């Protein structure tokens, strides 16, 4: 339920434009990978609902068996999710 809400708030078109894949429901969180992220940019995003009804967002770079944390953000409002994902991946989420 929470993952579906997060998906809806980010927007179906945004996932299409980012080439999102490997969409995973973690119960109180939702994660996905993106294709075409710029060098040094995040290619894995995990959005978790926190106790304050805001989101905590983890932005990671995955390659092979290596994982690098690019950034973490706390208390992000739903209206700011798309902008944050755009800035961390370097990909556009709207036309």
**pLDDT tens for each residue of 5-55:** 999 999 999 999 999 999 999 999 999 999 988 788 999 999 999 999 999
Pairing of strands 29-33, 66-76: unpaired
- Helices 81-89 and 2-10 pack at an angle, to 10 degrees, of 70
Structure confidence at residue 36 (pLDDT): 82
Tokens of 19: 């080439």
Q: Which of 68, 66, 70 is nearest to 84 (CA)?
A: 70
pTM of the model: 0.91
Is pLDDT at 95 greater than 80 in this prediction? Answer: no
List, in sequence order, every residue forming a beta bridge with 60; answer none if it has no partner: 44, 69
**d(C-alpha 51, C-alpha 74), whole Å:** 11
């Amino acid at each position: 339920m929470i993952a579906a809400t997060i998906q809806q708030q980010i927007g179906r078109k945004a996932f299409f434009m980012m080439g999102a894949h490997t969409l995973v429901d973690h119960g109180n969180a939702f994660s996905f990978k993106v294709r075409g992220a710029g060098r040094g940019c995040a290619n894995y995003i995990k959005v978790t609902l926190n106790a304050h009804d805001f989101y905590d967002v983890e932005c990671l770079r995955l390659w092979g068996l290596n994982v690098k944390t690019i950034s973490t953000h706390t208390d992000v409002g739903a209206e700011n999710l798309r902008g944050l994902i755009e800035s961390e991946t370097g990909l556009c989420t709207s036309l």
